[in-house]
Amino acid sequence: DYPARVKIVDVGPRDGLQNEKQPVPASVKIELVQRLQDAGLKEIEVTSFVSPKWVPQMADNAEVMAGIARKSGVRYSVLTPNMKGFEAAVAAPREYWPDEIVVFGAASEAFSQRNINCSIAESIERFAPVVEAARAAGIQVRGAMSCTVGCPYEGEIAPERVDYLAGLMKGIGVQRVDVADTIGVGTPLKVQRAIEATLRHFGVDEISGHFHDTYGQALSNTLAALQLGVWNFQSSVAGLGGCPYAKGATGNVATEDVVYLLQGLGIDTGIHLEKLIDAGQYISEHLGRPTQSRVARALMAR
Ligand code: HMG
Ligand code: MG
């Protein structure tokens, strides 16, 4: 039995754009968020409060958060890896605060070092006060877990590593977690093992799938997660993106393709596919690249 409904976080404005070499103007990011919410997305990962030296593309985080026109019922999230990031995210008036912050750790030590410049244990020490401050401020907390099936530096990652990280995330008060296949190497059974390891610490309603599509497995992995009852997913409009610390890894699975899959299964997402394709075309045209969504390409060719 598949879940009756699915909620998608479009991570395009953040995961999708963070790796772009040419600066994308804040106005374009704001328009992309607008089009995503117009298409019916109820959760949007807008930006990240990270070091602009590490990720220059997200340096306009405050401008983007202040520029989006909030729609009621939509949850806007941002990445905050440490207190400095959290403080920056709430430095603005309350109406510009995120509804949810995301701390992001890795199941692999090497990836933790490359991505956030500290060990897994140190990352949890940095996240703990962020989680506490966010929850005290009434902001929800998600934890992203990178490299839950494979790591660009360590190779295959055992489910025990995911179990360990998920336990640490739970221990500091993270409310829900993303099981991420950062470099898209996962296949359905491996992804299911990573989800099962996470289920030892979080309920199925608190787990989301975050699959990059480097090896073309992300839709299969989505189906495998659905089979375990997971009903929250992250995807990126037009399949934008890639992580700067995961060389060669492509974007997230395209939101359009996930929506098409779910529609075919009779699962409700509340997302309007044509409007979503328009949002994908908007950003693809801005970037001067064809969409990575197979569904968008097929429907536009008709
Ligand atoms: P660090 O160098 O260890 O931190 O960076 P530090 O505390 O030693 O500070 C060094 C400098 O950074 C200082 O500036 C700080 O002020 C500044 P300086 O004195 O040299 O001028 N700094 C900051 N500036 C702005 N915002 C901040 C901040 N923190 C410190 N929050 C840090 C640690 C995590 C900040 C750094 O390593 C970093 O920014 N890394 C980038 C991580 C990132 O954004 N990765 C991509 C997102 S994760 C992802 O894509 C995976 C995901 O999609 C799931 C998946 O697919 O796997 C979520
Ligand atoms: Mg990602």
pLDDT tens track, the chain, 302 positions:
899 999 999 999 999 999 999 999 999 999 999 999 999 999 999 999 999 999 999 999 999 999 999 999 999 999 999 999 999 999 999 999 999 999 999 999 999 999 999 999 999 999 999 999 999 999 999 999 999 999 999 999 999 999 999 999 999 999 999 999 999 999 999 999 999 999 999 999 999 999 999 999 999 999 999 999 999 999 999 999 867 777 778 899 999 999 999 999 999 999 999 999 999 999 999 999 999 999 999 999 98
151 assigned to active site: no
Residue 50 Cβ < 6 Å to ligand 1:
yes
Q: Beta-strand (E) ranges in 11-166? A: 43-48, 75-79, 100-106, 140-146, 150-151, 155-156
Residue 248 has a pLDDT of 77
Angle between helices 188-199 and 218-227 (to 10 degrees): 40
pLDDT reported for residue 76: 98
Q: What is the pLDDT, as a whole number, of residue 249? A: 84
Residues with Cβ within 8 Å of 117's Cβ and at least 6 positions away in sequence, in order, are none
Is 7 within 8 Å of 255 (Cβ atoms)? no
- CA gap 237, 13 in Å, rounded: 9
Q: List Cβ neighbours of 19 (8 Å cut-off, separation of 6 or more).
A: 57, 241, 242, 243, 244
CB 195 within 8 A of CB 163: no
Give the model's pLDDT for residue 172: 98
Q: How far is CA 294 from the centre of its chain?
A: 20
CA 292 vs CA 17, 26, 107, 161: distances in Å: 14, 22, 28, 31
**pLDDT at 136 (0 to 100):** 98
> Closest by alpha carbon to 40, among 73, 63, 77, 15?
73
Confidence (pLDDT) at 297: 98
Q: How far is CA 94 from the centre of its chain?
A: 23
Taking the mean position of all CA atoms in its chain, how far away is CA 78? Answer: 10
Cα separation, 123 vs 274, in Å, equals: 41
Check if 221 has its Cβ closer than 6 Å to any atom of ligand 1. no
Q: Note the pLDDT of residue 246.
A: 77
How far apart, in Å, do the first and last CA atoms of the chain sit?
A: 33
Point out the ligand nearest to the CA of residue 48: 1
- Tokens encoding 115: 């991505």
Instruction: State the Rg of the chain over Cα.
Output: 17
Give pTM, 2 decimals. 0.97
pLDDT the model gives residue 245: 79
Is the CB–ligand 1 distance for residue 185 below 6 Å?
A: no
Cβ(51) – ligand 1 distance below 6 Å:
yes
CA 165 – CA 116 distance, rounded (Å): 15
The pLDDT, as a whole number, for residue 1 is 86
Mutate to test the pocket of ligand 1, among 10, 51, 250 (most ligand atoms within 8 A of CB): 51
